[in-house]
Amino acid sequence: MASLKDMRVRIASTKATQKITKAMQMVAASKLRRAQMAAEAARPYAEKMEAVISNIAGAAAGSPGAPVLLAGNGKDQVHLLLVCTGERGLSGAFNSSIVRLARERAYELMGQGKTVKFFCVGRKGYEQLRRNFEKQIIANVELRSVRQIGFVNAEDIAQKVISRFNAGEFDVCTLFYSRFKSVISQIPTAQQLIPLEVTAPTAGASATSYEYEPEEDEILSGLLPRNLAVQIFRALLENNASFYGAQMSAMDNATRNAGEMIRKQTLVYNRTRQAMITKELIEIISGAEAI
């Protein structure tokens, strides 16, 4: 059995850990609001961008000069998985859930005889994926030095992806990230970026005819690369909000668990101390009676 001094040290250590987790929870809560607002503000623009491209792509359907970012290169053999995760841990299952979804997709594609490559954005995703797919990771981008995520970061990643696609390094690109729903709910999401999946118009929607100037193919050639950057930017913002939400929830659970540990440790300490005092009193009384 541990001595009273060891128990006191253990209780003090647990209390120090509880203070740290409480402070991290408060920091995550203070940053969550801004990150959530940024993610929610980016959604309408990204969704409208998809709607505009879908409309233009519908008008350009069947055109022999359709951009390769829209139509693809006609092959489906090499898949690039663009996995966006966080730079830090202590956020529950946030990072591992994204990696798990990407890993399942990779094994599924490999089972079909496809070639899988990884483009990692975020240190935690890279650390987890390199355990099983180290030779298949072709690029890794870390954003630890970035104080606030901006569109320039997403644009840089998009340019790297497009340059590799133009070089023929892959045929299909799929983006993996965590969509923010609430503090306790973040949804791992997979979204195909190349070739772009065009959403069909909803049933009952009014069919409006548009005339484009310049031609649809020329508009798409300039709009598709920007859309790729917009979707990646949206994923980074969603990830940022999801990270702080997951960290806030995880640190809250850690703080409450530390409190429960302190209560149990204090109870054991008091019982042990009382037993030692009782034993000493019995020895004193026994010695006095013997005299």
Distance CA 154, CA 148 (A): 12
Distance CA 117, CA 135 (A): 9
> What are the pLDDT digits (tens) for 139-191?
888 887 777 888 888 889 999 999 988 888 888 899 999 988 888 888 899 98
What is the pairing mode between strands 137-141 and 172-182? unpaired
Residue 180 corresponds to which tokens in the numbers above? 């923010």
Domain ranges of the chain: 21-199+210-251
**Which pLDDT value is given to residue 105?**
92
pTM: 0.81
Distance CA 195, CA 176 (A): 15
Q: How far is CA 76 from CA 21, 40, 112, 152, 172, in A?
A: 47, 33, 11, 30, 6
Report the alpha-carbon angle 107-189-137, nearest 5.
45
Taking 70 as the pLDDT cut, the residues of the chain under it are: 1, 58-66, 199-217, 291
Q: How far is CA 254 from CA 14, 89, 98, 248, 270, in A?
A: 11, 14, 22, 10, 24
CATH of domain 21-199+210-251: 3.40.1380.10
Q: 116, 134 in Cβ contact below 8 A?
A: no
Q: How buried is 274 (Cβ within 10 angstroms: 0-12 exposed, 13-18 middle, 19+ buried)? A: exposed
